Amino acid sequence: METVWWKLTLALLMLAVSTLAKAPRSCHMEDFIQAVKQVEDEESGSGSEPAAVLRRLRRAAGLNDAFIQHFLPDAALSPDLDADLLGYVRTAVPHGLLGETQEQGVVLTPDGTTVALQPLLLGMEARLLSRTPGRPRGLYQLTLARDLGAALRPGSADAGRFGPDGCWDSLTSPRVFTLSGPASPFTTAQANGAMDGVVLGAEASGRPAGPLRLSSLLTQYYCRGLDARGLDGAPRLISRRRREIFRGMILPPALARQVWRATDLQERLAGRPRTQGGKKKQLMVVKEGLREFVHMFMDCPPIIPRCVWGAEPYRGTPTKLSLPLSFLFIHHTSTPSQPCLTLQQCSADMRSMQRFHQDDRGWDDIGYSFVAGSDGHIYEGRGWHWQGAHTLGHNAVGFGVSFIGDYNASLPTQHAMELVRERLASCAVGGGRLVSNFTLQGHRQVVNTACPGDALYREIQGWEHFGEVQK
Ligand SMILES: *[C@@H]1O[C@H](CO)[C@@H](O)[C@H](O)[C@H]1NC(C)=O
Ligand SMILES: *[C@@H]1O[C@H](CO)[C@@H](O)[C@H](O)[C@H]1NC(C)=O
């Protein structure tokens, strides 16, 4: 009798566990990594070689057109994954749009950015296979070049060539990703996925094949936390560094050649005659078009949109700035006094500052134009287009950028400072939002305040563009 009860209990327990395991997966990178683990476990008989796992995922996702087949082995064999997993991979991986503004085939990563899985997986597979002699190298074609080619085709610039970013319905259980404007042929999530495909492909192919598991590599890259030194003490291979690593890996002229090749290959595969006009002239056109890509994704820092940090709407009617502006004002938040190291922590800081500015100060919105966290991101405050409330009497002529933390006695992380000093500044100048000879000043130079703290104020005096007060 006892054993029967025992068996029954066990059976019920297993049922409960399997039901739990079948809880629908969301569009979070952690759920995707779980799915990869499941494929690896099923694959374990034949070894869970990353290239084999990637091929199975590609087969399940149905990514197998002529362009892909030109670089990667045929994956048209019948799918062999369990039905639930197959259903998940089929909806989670292929990139596309549903309606006008819902982007599919993208996942939310723990650092708050959104990544398209298709270029990520194709890039890694291409790079892993190119270790094998005689295989064509399709790394840049499969991650970037084909989609960039589409974005640069004449007439495709109406809605903007690149971007936009977007917002998730939920950060804990994300399912729907809505773009923040009309879709271009190359969204921010596609750019993130493509850069990650290039970065992770290089990493995977550089390691000894044996013990590497795709799921562990993805976990290391996307899910690793930061210690008190922020990105200064973090390993290089971490998703928050994707733009800087990518910038170190490819030069714009090389990218232009890859785009030209991809477009040419597309035409040939479609049986169309080769495009008219010399290669040189076409390359010029591509190079010209790529400038905007370089500006948006290689010069500009990653900016976390308001919807991701959970901003309340603007109150009242914002005043439009007349660009380009001439000043960049540097602040520290003072409260919160600690640097923030995760999306959750920085977002909570942003919300509490916005609450304070709106409710206690009676302002329309968070005062700053942008805020720098120590998690590797800039957070969007009032942004590039709307006048802030940061530097009394000077809000119409400059952007106000604040570092989260108190920097009277110590400095922000080197990485956070570089993000503002190099990336945000060149992003602003390159995008026509700041004049190229702009002046950088600390808040205390124009208003009677201790901001941005003694230590940070000493530091920025050595920065390019630092200027004395004009009387
Ligand atoms: C900032 O630090 C200085 C010492 O460098 C100290 O004298 C001053 O009181 C501090 N200011 C604030 C606002 O804490
Ligand atoms: C910046 O450049 C413009 C035109 O090139 C010039 O008129 C202006 O005086 C310069 N401003 C400063 C602060 O040097």
Res. 471: pLDDT tops 50: no
- CB of 470 within 6 A of ligand 2: the answer is no
- CB of 450 within 6 A of ligand 1: the answer is yes
Model pLDDT for residues 12-64, shown as the tens digit of each residue:
555 555 545 556 799 999 999 999 999 998 876 555 688 889 999 999 999 98
CB 90 within 8 A of CB 61: yes
Model pLDDT for residues 133-184, shown as the tens digit of each residue:
555 578 899 999 999 998 888 776 666 789 999 999 998 899 999 999 999 9
CB 35 within 8 A of CB 74: no
Q: How far apart are CA 210 and CA 221, in angstroms?
A: 19
Query: Measuring CA to CA, which residue among 425, 412, 423 is closest to residue 374?
Result: 412
Query: Measuring CA to CA, which residue among 361, 324, 366 is closest to residue 349?
Result: 366
Query: Measuring CA to CA, which residue among 398, 354, 402, 399 is closest to residue 374?
Result: 402
Output the CA torsion 40→41→42→44 (10° steps): 80
Number of other CB atoms surrounding residue 1 within 10 Å: 5
Model pLDDT for residues 419-461, shown as the tens digit of each residue:
999 999 999 999 999 999 999 999 999 999 999 999 999 999 9
Distances (CA, A) of 469 to 136, 175, 394, 425, 445: 59, 50, 12, 19, 6
Among protein residues, the one with the nearest Cα to ligand 1's atom 10 is: 408
Domains and CATH numbers, the chain: 25-299 (no CATH), 306-460 (3.40.80.10)
Position 73 scores a pLDDT of 84
| Ligand 1 geometric centre to CA of 332 (Å) | 14
Q: With pLDDT > 90 as the criterion, what percentage of the chain qualifies?
A: 70
Q: How confident is the model at residue 400 (pLDDT cuts 50, 70, 90)?
A: very high
Position 104 scores a pLDDT of 97
Q: With pLDDT > 70 as the criterion, what percentage of the chain qualifies?
A: 89
Among protein residues, the one with the nearest Cα to ligand 2's atom 12 is: 437
CB 233 within 8 A of CB 226: yes
pTM (2 d.p.):
0.91
- CB of 437 within 6 A of ligand 2: the answer is yes
Query: Residue 370 pairs with which residues in a beta bridge?
Result: 380, 401
Model pLDDT for residues 94-144, shown as the tens digit of each residue:
999 999 899 999 999 999 999 999 999 999 999 888 766 555 578 899 999
Model pLDDT for residues 254-281, shown as the tens digit of each residue:
999 999 999 999 889 988 876 666 788 8
